A and B are shown apart, each in its own frame.
Chain A
Amino acid sequence: MTSLGHWAGVLVTAPLVLLARAVDPLLRAWQRWTGIGGMAAFFLLPNLLIFGVFVLIPIVLNLAYSMTGGTEILLAQRPYVGGEQYARLLECQDYSRPLTCREDQFWTAARNTGLFVLFQVSLMVAVSLVTALILNREIKGRGFFRAVFFFPVLLSPVVVGLIWRWILQREGLLNLLVVNLGLEPQVWLNDRVTAFAAAVGVSTWAHMGFYTLILLAGLQAIPRDLYEAAEMDGTPPARVFRRITLPLLGPNLAVVLVLALIRGVQIFDEAYVLTGGGPGTSTLFLTQYIYEVGFASLLRNPGLAAAASMLMAGVLVVLTLVQLRLSRSSAGGQR
């Protein structure tokens, strides 16, 4: 077996070694010509190209579309309208009442997204923290539970949405259980409150493993000695949590908070598959609004969708800057 493994290794590595030898003189010549900086640029180039084609150019194009009107798809065929789409989105008598706005659906989606972020992020941080605290204890089957909580993160959001729709729909698993218990079946996804709660809950379930992992890493980085010193001092558990665990977990909590905020603002796939934005517009979120205005409605308006995208991007940029700042300060500061 050993020799089989050995020859398999040789077969795999030999072509790579030959390739490396072939390109080595070229790379050396390039480095002599451009220096270390040029070499670094050369290695970064593939990723920069991908970033440029799939992120940078679309952003610029999106900005251009947001300043055009009409229903044409090709940019060249669209008339320039300046900031008209933005003005249309922002035109409102009373921002707290979406129906008084010209683009009432945009403001409904914005309000729903705001509420979603508020509830989902609070729930996410709380649930992830509690889960991480439990998984950080020396409980039986700790490795198994860590895997179980992380598993939903590996699922496609569409699969998550479908699974929970099968559970929560009128003839779903939950109602089967409810009926078996002798209770009245509920229309979980057709009620404004329960549908919204389902979107919050399902999204939390799907992503909490990721945030739990970040918090667990933070908890494990807190030296055990600190807890033992507190134990010697007779510190009550609640005070240990408040005065030691929470402050030392602060940088991780901040990162979790901001990442969850960013993800919350972007909520789309699992909620769309789960509720389709309904009932009515009760689970219509910004990304779905943009998607529908730009692509899915009969009177599609790419310019308006692009303008809405730019406004949402503005919010995300601010949140990302906060996140970068937090992660830089937590990386630079010592625990």
Chain B
Amino acid sequence: MSQIALKGVTKSFGGVSVIHGVDLDIETGELVVFVGPSGCGKSTLLRLISGLDQPSAGAIEIDGRDVTRVSAADRGLAMVFQSYALYPHMTVRQNLSFGLENTRMAKAEVTGRVAEAARMLNIEPLLDRRPTQLSGGQRQRVAIGRAIVRNPTAFLLDEPLSNLDAELRVSMRAELAALHARLGTTMIYVTHDQIEAMTLASRIVVLRAGRVEQVARPLDLFNRPANLFVAGFIGAPSMNLFPTRAEGGTAALPGGRRVPMAGVPEGSEVTIGLRPQHLRLAQGNEPGFDLRIALIEALGTETVVHGELAGTSGDTPRRVFAILPGQPGVALGDILRLGFDEAYLHRFGPDGQRLVGPGRP
């Protein structure tokens, strides 16, 4: 039995429907990340689980109990807000204990829990400060501490790292992963940052326009995107997608190379995807396609090349990304011949869904 289950959850604001019948099962101890573009409904879905908003239809179960109409406070969940939502007029200690005092918990236990959370998060020296006297990272820790002291069934984290600078975000990400490993408590984490999703998640839920596009482990999502949206959304730079046509059990890629394309009707519009990482400089007479370099991002360990397919420089030049290992010594305007291994092709049918066919992944 899953710990948190969403069954046909729908949410409308007035006449606008923002969540369309989401079904989802989250197991105990998982760290599930909701990811998707702005406005896809990931924060709304989190708020529905938290009880801060009520679904228009469908049911939410926690530990087998229907909590759809149960108040936020009685769901046993704790939330970390994007803004941290720390009470500015209270000290860190008061912020941590405020929620516990509502439960009429014995003072000694409140003190004990606050001390334990403070020790776990290394915020003991900050207990008598107010939030305005803390740095962004320290506030983030206090916000997490406020959730920890409640000893919740699950943590809900709404873009908790988005207000931090890049460096701090990386270190807090590692701390969150360590915290999850130590506590073993279920976490639902909302982010628009793919790297956070890929590095933290047990499973990722990709959302678009209020619908679940795919639920999978991070690498499965990367290796086997279920449809064109997920293929384009997961991975940076995004996957190169080539629209083409199935003819005689094959389909042509730019440059004329034909690759196997089974399982679709003859003549149907299909799309072939290739990740930038899976493109390489062609060897000898290896078949491939020519790319005119429009932008180079040299990162030292690898070089990201933005190019246009040679021969498409008219009104709609086809953009292609390639990630080449190391520092290949290319220059703007160069024409590169790129090859690839057919095993890395992703094939999508006329409906945009992944085709099960030859080759990995």
| B-binding residues in A (CB < 8 A) | 223, 225-226, 228-236, 239, 243-244, 247-248, 250, 334-335
Contact = CB atoms under 8 A, between A and B. Distances in A.
24 contacts: A223-B83, A225-B81, A225-B83, A225-B85, A226-B87, A228-B72, A228-B79, A229-B79, A229-B87, A229-B146, A230-B98, A232-B78, A233-B73, A233-B99, A233-B102, A234-B71, A234-B72, A234-B73, A235-B73, A235-B99, A236-B102, A243-B87, A244-B87, A335-B88
Given A228-B52, A234-B71, A243 B98 contact: yes
Contacts of B103: 234
A229 B158 CA distance: 12
B88 A232 contact: no
Q: Which of A225, A228, A232, A239 has the most CB atoms of chain B within a 10 A radius of its CB?
A: A232
A228 B98 CA distance: 13
Nearest to A236: B102
B98 to A, nearest CB: 7
Interface of B: 50-52, 71-74, 77-79, 81, 83-85, 87-89, 98-99, 102-103, 132, 146, 150
Q: Which of B83, B89, B132, B150 has the most CB atoms of chain A within a 10 A radius of its CB?
A: B89
Which A-B residue pairs are the 10 nearest by beta carbons? A234-B73, A233-B99, A225-B85, A229-B85, A247-B89, A334-B132, A225-B81, A225-B83, A234-B102, A232-B79
A230 to B, nearest CB: 8
B30 to A, nearest CB: 21
A247 B52 CA distance: 24
B129 to A, nearest CB: 13
Question: Chain A's interface: helix, strand, loop or mixed, by majority?
Answer: helix
Q: Which of A225, A248, A250 has the most CB atoms of chain B within a 10 A radius of its CB?
A: A225
B88 A248 contact: yes
Q: Which of A229, A233, A247 has the most CB atoms of chain B within a 10 A radius of its CB?
A: A229
Given A225-B81, A243-B98, A334-B132, A232 B72 contact: yes
Given A239-B102, A334-B132, A232 B73 contact: yes
Nearest to A333: B132
B74 A234 contact: yes
B145 to A, nearest CB: 13
A165 B84 CA distance: 54
B62 to A, nearest CB: 14
Contacts of B84: 225
Contacts of B72: 228, 231-232, 234
A228 B46 CA distance: 13
Contacts of A223: 83, 85
A248 B121 CA distance: 27
A223 B102 CA distance: 21
A248 B87 CA distance: 9
Contacts of A230: 98
Nearest to B84: A225
B85 A228 contact: yes
A233 B88 contact: no
A244 B102 CA distance: 13
A334 B88 contact: yes
Contacts of B88: 248, 334-335
Contacts of A335: 88
Nearest to A235: B102
A12 to B, nearest CB: 42
A247 B50 CA distance: 27
